[in-house]
Amino acid sequence: MPVHLVVLAAGQGSRMNSDRPKVLHEIGQAPLFVHALAAGAALSPERRILVVGHGAEAVRAAALDEDPDIAVVEQGERRGTAHAVAQARTALAGAQGDVFVLYGDTPFIRPETLSMMAAARAGGASVVVLGFEATVPGRYGRLIVEGDELIRIVEYKDATEAERAITLCNSGVICADAAILFQLVDAVGCDNAAEEYYLTDIVSIARDRGLRCTTVACEEAETMGVNTRQELARAEATFQARRRAEAFDDGVSLTAPETVFFAHDTVIGRDATIEPHVIFGPGVTIESGATIRAFSHLEGAHVGDGAVIGPYARLRPGAEIGGDARIGNFVEIKSAEIGPGAKVNHLSYVGDATVGERANLGAGTVTCNYDGVFKHRTEIGAQAFIGSSTMLVAPVRIGTGAMTGSGSVITQDVPDDALAIARARQSNKEGLARRLMSKLRANKAKRTN
């Protein structure tokens, strides 16, 4: 059956004490709401709707940047979860199948859990509610179940002592028949202390209409919400622990896993080795057998099989590192393709460049790519040898098999197999060092006296 996804992301999150909307705070270097969308993406939804409210324009911009095809609707007046879902009515006009309602501040719902809910819908339930067995039920709403039927959801303040003893609690996540969802939402009232329209009320309304409701249970950790900075930190720790465990399962070696930090979309191949204190920003793919050495930072980069990065290396967006290449200590690569087997081993910056296969860049090599207004490219041919402390002033091309002398400032193209030397002629002044130091020491003595 077709699936549609509604993610509620309208809340202010006042307990975050932030000017930023709550759902724009990040886990794994992605906004909270992105994680909810990612979970739903496993169901291949036909329509994706994000309901925004507080900080609507900022959240809208972030959402469209993440997914240009998502529908973003605004809940101008925040009057509860049912009211929020109602804002998706137009975007879901004529929809058939299942509608899942997720929350932008609940990032850990697993795709497998949503699949179980879809299966329950396929089994004949009009409304499926996601529950969890709470270690400390506290003030969560309780799910009242008889057999496989969800009878009602009772809020803590309205529950009897017997009902409060129930540990099956409400997560708020639902799956409902698209054809009847808004009929149920329209029937929700606001006769409560907060005068808000609660989505949970659709269960009792559905049953009053003879519709079947049921529940699916998940692990409590999946329902972790983020409302404070402390909860955000705990959520980040949970995310990182999961990603490290997944890396181990995928055949990746993490020599000090607690010091490695993943982004939400990090991809690492089997038999890769990640040394301590490595940080992955968004958009990184590491191929099989590569090694990322300690204290390196990678973002928007692709590392080929068998390549070695670091220690203390920085790969910025657009870095393409070929197989068996070497990027060494205190080297920065940006918008550059480093060919297979090439070496950039020490204290170098390579930006807006192409480095050919098995080229070797000596220590202190810099591609001078910016003229103050525009960026320009440097091309270094296969098997070229760039002497230490060479400044390559782009645009410039170093030919295949060419060399540059150490300390050169290269401003013109170098033909294939040529040696370019661009530095002042050395001049030795006999005895001048001794005379100069004597004069300086004498001046120093006068000042101290």
What gap in Å lies between CA 253 and CA 173, rounded to an integer? 36
Q: How far is CA 183 from the centre of its chain?
A: 37
Contact yes or no for 394/412 (Cβ under 8 A): no
Which of 25, 54, 302, 346 is the catalytic position?
Answer: 346
Supply the pLDDT for residue 449.
Answer: 75
Mean pLDDT of the chain: 95
Query: Would you say residue 222 has pLDDT above 90?
Result: yes
Number of other CB atoms surrounding residue 219 within 10 Å: 12
Q: Calculate mean pLDDT across residues 123-144.
A: 94
Query: Would you say residue 192 has pLDDT above 90?
Result: no
Query: Would you say residue 272 has pLDDT above 90?
Result: yes
Supply the pLDDT for residue 158.
Answer: 83
Residue 376 bears catalytic tag:
no
Give the CA dihedral 392, 395, 399, 402, nearest 10 degrees.
-10
Which residues neighbour 167 within 8 Å (Cβ) at sequence distance 6 or greater?
A: 133, 134, 137
Q: Per residue in 383-422, pLDDT tens? A: 999 999 999 999 999 999 999 999 999 999 999 999 999 9
Tokens for 105, please give them: 């501040």
Q: Which carries the bigger pLDDT value, residue 195 or residue 170?
A: 170
Angle at 249 between CA 105 and CA 288, to 5 degrees: 105
What gap in Å lies between CA 394 and CA 423, rounded to an integer? 17
Supply the pLDDT for residue 448.
Answer: 81
H or E element that contains 112: helix 111-122
Nearest to 359 by CA among 390, 395, 335, 334: 390
Query: Would you say residue 202 has pLDDT above 80?
Result: yes
Q: Per residue in 334-361, pLDDT tens? A: 999 999 999 999 999 999 999 999 999 9
Supply the pLDDT for residue 418.
Answer: 97
Contact yes or no for 392/365 (Cβ under 8 A): yes
Q: How far is CA 125 from CA 21, 129, 148, in A?
A: 35, 10, 10
Least confident of 134-143, 279-288, 302-311: 134-143
DSSP string, 127-143: EEEEEEE-SS-TTPPEE
Q: Per residue in 50-97, pLDDT tens? A: 999 999 999 999 999 989 999 999 999 889 999 999 999 999 999 999
Supply the pLDDT for residue 231.
Answer: 96
Supply the pLDDT for residue 125.
Answer: 96
Nearest to 408 by CA among 393, 394, 395, 397: 393
Q: Which carries the bigger pLDDT value, residue 13 or residue 209?
A: 209
Determine the 3-state secondary structure of 373 from DSSP: coil
> 274: buried, middle or exposed (CB in 10 Å: 19+, 13-18, 0-12)?
buried
Query: Would you say residue 323 has pLDDT above 90?
Result: yes
Nearest to 5 by CA among 35, 53, 37, 52: 37
Query: Would you say residue 277 has pLDDT above 80?
Result: yes
What gap in Å lies between CA 449 and CA 1, rounded to an integer? 93
Angle at 231 between CA 230 and CA 234, to 5 degrees: 90
Tokens for 45, please give them: 């939804």
Please give the radius of gyration of the chain, using alpha carbons only, rounded to the nearest integer: 30
Angle at 430 between CA 429 and CA 436, to 5 degrees: 75
High-pLDDT (> 90) share of the chain, %:
92
